[in-house]
Amino acid sequence: MNIHEYQAKNLLAQFNIPILSGEITETPTNAIDIAKKLGGDKWVIKSQVHAGGRGKAGGIKLAKTLDEVREHAQSIIGMKIVTAQTGAQGKLVRKVLIEKAVDISHEYYLGIVLNRSLGKITIIASSEGGMDIESVAHNTPEKIIQVTLSPSYEYSSFIGKKLSYGVGLKDEDQVKKFSAIIENLYKLYCAKDCSIAEINPLVLTKNNDFLALDAKLNFDDNALILHPDVATLLDPFEESSKELEANKSGLSYIELDGNIGCLVNGAGLAMATMDIIKLHNGSPANFLDVGGSATTEMVKKGCSIILSDSKVRAILINIFGGIMRCDVVAEGVVAALRELSPSIPVIVRLEGTNMSLGKKILNDSGLKIITANDLEDAAIKAVTAAK
Ligand code: ADP
Ligand code: MG
């Protein structure tokens, strides 16, 4: 799960990482009131969307007068921001964060990620933080310092120092402050089961203080049950409504660009189904795992979510009956199709426990269902049907 910058900053503050005070609003008039309350003579108006790269896309603006605060808030609220992370359709900005603008002496990068290829936590720091960190990583990778933790190499204050010296800090006071931020970010990362915790930029101000000017936190969905405080930060406007609805019914659903809707049990089989569709020059419209113990109701819900996607030209239902029996699935499919009466072809491949009974239920239903003998046959039939 993703959260907004202002929410992430509140969590950083709980872990003693210095941030600027700021407030969010949905109206330009409030923006002026907030700027007055914060004081100072220049402010930053920051779009709040779940995407990075806002600065380059015109979603972060500096205001030198209160009139400019209103003007910028007016132009940013309601804009469709398009960055490398939003896709071409962009994201609608509903809220802006107003903060004082600080005098920056240097921008650093600090991030903690779960390194999936190593299965370990990696802490990353760079002296070249800011809006071009991607090109730094690409063009001058030696400027990115990484430390990977493991049970035999756990976090210690030594690691904070190593990274501080690695980004070129020499002043003892600066090293102390930078190391403390790394340690606190690591504590937050572990305490809240993050998958990403990133501060970019982490700036050194003209007053010799470090401040987190931007923050991105991403959480492991499977651990949210342990963190109700984090779970409440979900912004439904930022999530696909279909994905939220699926989650509520216990289905894992991710919307994709293609036109073949997939309803599968088991994440591995769902991945294999998408692969074989691609292999036969088709394109999946979604990933949908109904799980190992799906009920008729869940199969019905899955079908209706897939059918609510107007891109879908054919549905491929691929079930391996283990704990979940093929007859139960077949009943779910028949019930769903009776109720939803889709106008597009439905291809079903059943294998495993009670397969013959399942096939009989489908055949006796009188519904127009294309049955397939195996996964490849199913993929070819789905790709052909979607054309
Ligand atoms: P994004 O990463 O989405 O582009 P950031 O919050 O990192 O958004 O802002 C982009 C840039 O704007 C930062 O690298 C920094 O240079 C500048 N900036 C952001 N907030 C402030 C602030 N409060 N004062 C001064 N400059 C800021
Ligand atoms: Mg940033």
Whether 196 and 326 share a structural domain? no
Q: Rounded CA gap, 6 and 22, in Å? A: 8
pLDDT for residue 293 is more than 80: no
Q: Are 100 and 38 in contact (CB under 8 A)?
A: yes
Do 217 and 285 share a structural domain? no
Q: Which CATH number fits the domain that encloses residue 254?
A: 3.40.50.261
Boundaries of domain holding 259:
240-386
Average confidence (pLDDT) over 300-325: 90
Mean pLDDT across the stretch 315-333?
88
Which atom of ligand 1 lies nearest, measured to the CA of 103? 25
Same domain, 299 and 229: no
- Nearest residue by C-alpha to atom 11 in ligand 1: 55
108 belongs to the catalytic site: no
Single residue among 178, 209, 238 that ends a domain in this structure: 238
Out of 109, 186, 189, 253, which one is annotated catalytic? Answer: 109
The better pLDDT of the pair 33, 292 is held by 33
Q: Is 316 in the pocket of ligand 1 (CB under 6 A)?
A: no
Q: Which burial class, exposed, middle or buried, applies to 344 when counting CB atoms under 10 A from its CB (0-12, 13-18, 19+)?
A: middle
Could you say which of 99, 107, 198, 331 is catalytic?
198
56-87: pLDDT as tens digits: 999 999 999 999 999 999 999 999 999 988 88
Q: In the annotation, is 153 catalytic?
A: no
Tell me, what's the pLDDT at 244? 86
Whether 200 and 298 share a structural domain: no
Mutate to test the pocket of ligand 1, among 6, 42, 131 (most ligand atoms within 8 A of CB): 131
- From residue 298, alpha-carbon distances to 140, 294, 328, 344, 361 in Å are 50, 6, 11, 20, 18
Ligand 1 centroid distance, CA of 63 (Å)? 13
Q: d(Cα 142, Cα 133) in Å, to the nearest integer?
A: 12
**Preceding omega of 342 cis (within 30 degrees of 0):** no
Q: What is the pTM of this model?
A: 0.84
Which pLDDT does position 251 carry in this prediction?
A: 92
